[in-house]
Structure 1
Amino acid sequence: MNYEVVSRGKDLKKYDCIVIGVFSGDEGKKSELKNLVAEVFSVDIDRVRKEEKFKSTDSEEFLLRVPGVDGTSRILFMGLGKRENKSAVLFKRRMLRAGLAIRARGYESSALLLPDCAIESRDFLESALMGFSIGLSQPFRLKFKSSNENKSSKVSRVGIYCKSKDVKTVDGTINFVKKIAPVISRVRDLVDKPANLLGTQEMVEEARKMVEGENVKIRIHKLDGKNHGNFPLVYEVGKGSSRAPLVMEMKYSPKGSGKRKKVCLVGKGIVFDSGGLNLKTFHSMSAMKNDMAGAATVVGCLVSSARLGLNVDLYGICPLAENFPSSNSYRPGDIIKSKSGKTIEIISTDAEGRLLLSDALTWAVEQKPDYIIDIATLTGACMVALGSFTAGLFSNDDDLAKQIEDGAKEAGEMLWRLPLLEEMVPSLRSDIADLKNASQDPYGGAIFAALFLREFVGNKKWAHLDIAGPAYFDKRTEMGPRGATGFGVHTLIKFLQKVSV
């Protein structure tokens, strides 16, 4: 896809569809955007809104046909709601919706005409372009395509209108989005793939394809009955499946010497979670192909960092397994010794993600990093607390948490910090082992899981992102279409940019 800056209003007529973002409440007020649309397309935005009863709320859109250079162009008005509520989240989700609409209608070119506040703010513009790019990308599908379904053409050209003084800023943002948006689309495809097509080995093969040509190295730790001592919990979780568990280690380091921060990213990679012997219900199991979203996010972050040339030593570790019931599965009541040496009493085989992560976190500590961040579709309890759109953030370091929160705000992704309650620590303790992997208390499950993970990070600065909600939507929502979202890559890249000095 070719992105280009448009600084002359008359050039907007060369595009099949012009996406215009409009705020509510500014009817009757003069603006350069309104003057430009009136001059180029002879369209009075306020009159159109009145005639079509278009209130410009942040859930409305309206398509208008206007004369173009080679025929008919269209203007897609996207409501943005009240100006005082503007945010990166708003621009990302509304432009994602616009991208979906453009792709569905089969247009081959499109231009964005956004309010000045979106052009002048790097965060707003970056989120808008990222959302639009993701909306335009074709999601993973394996359908027999009929002639009707083949009518949607791939958009090959996207223009961003701005004033001459803003060309440099817009160019820089375009360069960022061109490098990162395709990676996020690949992450979405990985999470959307069904488990019969994406097992542990297939996940490695996909990662190798993604890092091809990039300064990222991959090392694989194969685990079997004779060789699993380095990651015993990963092996125990995955040994019930015919697909062998393994651990994928990744590393990116920029060329050249010099002092720089070292960051370890840890991603949960359960390629399918049946719950093991504590079998999930039909409803709970149906979308469990997405339980490797954390690992996919880590792969995306390594590739993105390499593409951007960030000045940071970045390590990624993705424990990969399939949690399946069989005669060889681990059982409730088992006691397993972790990589750290701590013993774990298995209360539930459906609390497997924290077991994988605990071994991986122990490995991360051994690398002596400045920061450790794990990301996982870990608990349904986090969704109960925060809903489907917001990730839970836990951290033992306020400064680290603040940097991640700032990154999410800039990236247009929603997360909320939750507490690590010391009063709940006794519930981790087992009478017959050092720890137990689940609590009999039905409440506070996301906090319990985070406290469990904290047991394996020592005094390292650590953060845990529970993305069980926003990693995957099981139906179309205001935040995006059904399927994987690629949540977390953009946020973590913004964080990594902050420490890349």
Structure 2
Amino acid sequence: MNISFQLQDAATFATPLLAVFAVDIATGPAEQPSPALLSTSDAPAAVASPWLTSGEFKAALGETLLLHAPHGIKAERLLVIGVGKLSALSIHQLRKGAGVAVRTAKARALTGLAIAFPDDMALADEHMDALPGELTARAITEGTILADFEVDTYRSDRKDSPLTAVTILYNDPERSTQAHLQQGFHEGRILAESQNFARSLVNEPGNILTPTELGRRAAAMAAETGLACEVHSTDKLKELGMGAFLAVTQGSPEPPALIVLRYEPENAPVSPSEEAAPVLALVGKGITFDTGGISIKPADSMEKMKYDMAGSAAMLGAMRAIALLKPTIRVLCVVCSAENMPDGRAYKPGDVVTAMSGKTIEIINTDAEGRLVLADGLHYARTLGATHLIDAATLTGAIGVALGLLNAGLFSNDDETTQRFLDALPTTGEQFWRMPCTDDYRDQIKSPIADIRNTGATRYGGAITAAMFLKEFVGEAPNLPAAKWIHLDIAGTAWSDEPQPWISRGPTGTAVRSITDWARSYAN
């Protein structure tokens, strides 16, 4: 799909489908919905007016009104897309609205689509700040590209999407903001394509995307974007003393992959002070298939465990975006990839393994393998010079129990580092909720035989005890100061079983945009 940005009045653009956004301007909960177009163009408003006043279209988020042969408009069809209440209007609603436009066009096998850039002059003064031009351009571009992703990769009757061209139209006679809008369009394209790259990795079946293949695809992406890349396997893990990571790999004939990417811009500051010149590390759990090992999972829905490498996919997607956006900050990425399988060589409950940091770990449950590979990945990133760490993992089912399927869990040992991440969320539209990660939970992972155990002492607070386990590997260690750290548990949000009007079912690519913007914040 070719996507472009053009300065032109939407009413004069010939296209099979023109999409225009609408909001509900009713102010009180008891008031009847009052839809209004986010456009000052007279032609679309005149065409849609009878339906906007009839009460049958309410401008709810994702609601659509399709009008054929609209008078006074060169488009063959006019699609009015609701983006919800004006009082709650945000660029994320427009991101979803753009996705609705694409999904609607694809469902009707249309070849072309134009989206009218929302005109904030149509808003009351108190709402005009809700749609800053550059971020609006970015969000609409992201929504457009994300909506084009499909999961039917291996269907024999799969056809290419008929939608080949999308044009975002902006009517600005003075062209005073063109540079800002083009920048937003540029960033949105990179971020959405990087998120779709992550989604394509998660969508692959486990027999195709093995750890070795994940390493190949990471290396190919690095070559395309100018990142340095190394891919190691079993011998390197042994050399580094990654006993926790190695334990997980024992039950599979597929060799593990330790993937290391580096982004080192020439103009990045270098200083003995980490505050002046931090080094960021993105660490991802890359379990390409998770049976649970000896503590085997139930058969029901086990096929989805190909998505257990979604954390690593998010990090690879973020590294792609960082390489193309070129912030002035050094960033490295460590992906620990393996299969968790239950053969005769597999690690067992009751085993004790020694992590790279020297900590000993009693294995209680072999299905708590993600924290083991991350333990060595986090420590290794610190030996490479990282001062700030962020990891992402489909780590616990408990996070879905705690937060449902709308928010991912965020855990951290540093308030300022966390706030930088949270500050990005109004722009990225992704939802994360900070969870406790305080030392009074540490007793839950104490072991009578080793330094720590790999699950909590009880079933309560499972996502927290998993985070507490990881926290053991970001604190002070011999010859290493403590690092500032964020852990993202994305198990409840990395995969969606239900399609939405603006996005397909399947892998979501969650966290790519937020991780990228968090990293970019250090370049300022």
Q: Report SS of the residue matched to 2:176.
A: helix
* Aligned counterparts of 1:134 and 1:51: Cα–Cα separation in 2: 33
* Deviation (angstroms), 1:219: 1.0
Q: Report SS of the residue matched to 1:227.
A: helix
Alignment correspondent of 1:429: 446
2:512 maps to a residue whose letter is: V
Q: Report SS of the residue matched to 2:300.
A: helix
Cα pair 2:21 2:38 within 8 Å, conserved = no
Cα pair 2:22 2:38 within 8 Å, conserved = no
Alignment correspondent of 1:497: 520
* Deviation (angstroms), 1:436: 0.2
Alignment correspondent of 1:159: 168
Sort the Cα spacing of 1:363 and 1:66 in 2 relative to 1 into closer, same or farther, 3 A. Answer: same
Residues 50-87 of structure 1: CA distance to partner in whole angstroms, max 9, x if unpaired? 44701111141121113599986222211111111123
Alignment correspondent of 2:399: 382
Alignment correspondent of 1:406: 423
* Deviation (angstroms), 1:150: 3.6
1:54 maps to a residue whose letter is: F
1:380 maps to a residue whose letter is: G
Pick from 465, 474, 482 the counterpart of residue 505 of structure 2.
Answer: 482
1:180 maps to a residue whose letter is: L
Residues 265-304 of structure 1: CA distance to partner in whole angstroms, max 9, x if unpaired? 1000000001001110123523110000111111111111
* Aligned counterparts of 2:488 and 2:154: Cα–Cα separation in 1: 31
Q: Report SS of the residue matched to 1:212.
A: helix
Sort the Cα spacing of 1:95 and 1:226 in 2 relative to 1 into closer, same or farther, 3 A. Answer: closer
Alignment correspondent of 2:212: 201
1:298 maps to a residue whose letter is: M
* Aligned counterparts of 1:240 and 1:216: Cα–Cα separation in 2: 32
Cα pair 2:327 2:520 within 8 Å, conserved = yes
Alignment correspondent of 1:81: 84
2:518 maps to a residue whose letter is: F
Q: Report SS of the residue matched to 1:361.
A: helix
Residues 289-330 of structure 1: CA distance to partner in whole angstroms, max 9, x if unpaired? 000011111111111111111111111000000000000100
Pick from 246, 250, 253 the counterpart of residue 235 of structure 1.
Answer: 246
TM-score of the superposition, structure 2-length normalised?
0.88
Sort the Cα spacing of 1:424 and 1:31 in 2 relative to 1 into closer, same or farther, 3 A. Answer: closer
TM-score of the superposition, structure 1-length normalised?
0.92
2:155 maps to a residue whose letter is: K
* Deviation (angstroms), 1:21: 1.3
* Aligned counterparts of 1:313 and 1:293: Cα–Cα separation in 2: 23
* Deviation (angstroms), 1:10: 5.3
Cα pair 1:194 1:289 within 8 Å, conserved = yes
Alignment correspondent of 1:461: 484
Q: Report SS of the residue matched to 1:419.
A: coil
Alignment correspondent of 2:181: 170
Sort the Cα spacing of 1:491 and 1:68 in 2 relative to 1 into closer, same or farther, 3 A. Answer: farther
Deviates more, 1:222-231 or 1:424-433: 222-231
* Deviation (angstroms), 1:411: 0.6
2:514 maps to a residue whose letter is: T
After the TM superposition, which residues 437-456 of structure 1 pair with which residues of structure 2 at under 5 Å, given as runs?
Answer: 437-456=454-473
Deviates more, 1:459-468 or 1:51-60: 51-60
Pick from 265, 278, 286 the counterpart of residue 261 of structure 1.
Answer: 278
Cα pair 1:23 1:79 within 8 Å, conserved = yes
* Deviation (angstroms), 1:47: 1.6
* Aligned counterparts of 2:36 and 2:140: Cα–Cα separation in 1: 20
Sort the Cα spacing of 1:33 and 1:219 in 2 relative to 1 into closer, same or farther, 3 A. Answer: closer
Pick from 326, 349, 352 the counterpart of residue 366 of structure 2.
Answer: 349
Cα pair 2:11 2:74 within 8 Å, conserved = no
1:63 equivalent to 2:66? Answer yes
* Aligned counterparts of 2:380 and 2:39: Cα–Cα separation in 1: 57
* Aligned counterparts of 1:413 and 1:167: Cα–Cα separation in 2: 27
Deviates more, 1:261-270 or 1:165-174: 165-174
* Deviation (angstroms), 1:102: 2.1
Sort the Cα spacing of 1:111 and 1:453 in 2 relative to 1 into closer, same or farther, 3 A. Answer: same
Cα pair 2:138 2:186 within 8 Å, conserved = no
Pick from 457, 474, 496 the counterpart of residue 473 of structure 1.
Answer: 496
Cα pair 1:268 1:375 within 8 Å, conserved = yes
* Deviation (angstroms), 1:127: 2.3
1:447 maps to a residue whose letter is: I
* Aligned counterparts of 2:47 and 2:40: Cα–Cα separation in 1: 8
* Deviation (angstroms), 1:497: 1.6
Alignment correspondent of 2:123: none
Q: Report SS of the residue matched to 1:213.
A: helix
1:426 maps to a residue whose letter is: D
Sort the Cα spacing of 1:50 and 1:156 in 2 relative to 1 into closer, same or farther, 3 A. Answer: same
Alignment correspondent of 2:50: 47
1:181 maps to a residue whose letter is: A
Cα pair 2:494 2:508 within 8 Å, conserved = yes
Q: Report SS of the residue matched to 2:289.
A: strand
1:106 equivalent to 2:123? Answer no
1:154 maps to a residue whose letter is: L
Please provide the CA RMSD for this pair.
2.5
1:490 maps to a residue whose letter is: R
* Aligned counterparts of 1:226 and 1:47: Cα–Cα separation in 2: 68
Deviates more, 1:200-209 or 1:470-479: 470-479
1:251 equivalent to 2:262? Answer yes
Sort the Cα spacing of 1:274 and 1:99 in 2 relative to 1 into closer, same or farther, 3 A. Answer: same
* Aligned counterparts of 1:106 and 1:150: Cα–Cα separation in 2: 11
Alignment correspondent of 2:329: 312
Alignment correspondent of 2:195: 184
Alignment correspondent of 2:338: 321
* Aligned counterparts of 2:240 and 2:269: Cα–Cα separation in 1: 35
Pick from 283, 296, 303 the counterpart of residue 313 of structure 2.
Answer: 296
Cα pair 2:244 2:354 within 8 Å, conserved = yes
Deviates more, 1:116-125 or 1:158-167: 116-125
Q: Report SS of the residue matched to 2:246.
A: helix
Cα pair 2:9 2:171 within 8 Å, conserved = no
* Deviation (angstroms), 1:29: 8.2
Q: State the aligned residue count.
A: 496
Residues 365-391 of structure 1: CA distance to partner in whole angstroms, max 9, x if unpaired? 212323110111111111111111211
Stretches of structure 2 lacking an aligned partner (at least 5 in a row): 27-31, 121-127, 271-276, 476-481
2:78 maps to a residue whose letter is: I
Q: Report SS of the residue matched to 1:78.
A: strand
Sort the Cα spacing of 1:60 and 1:186 in 2 relative to 1 into closer, same or farther, 3 A. Answer: same
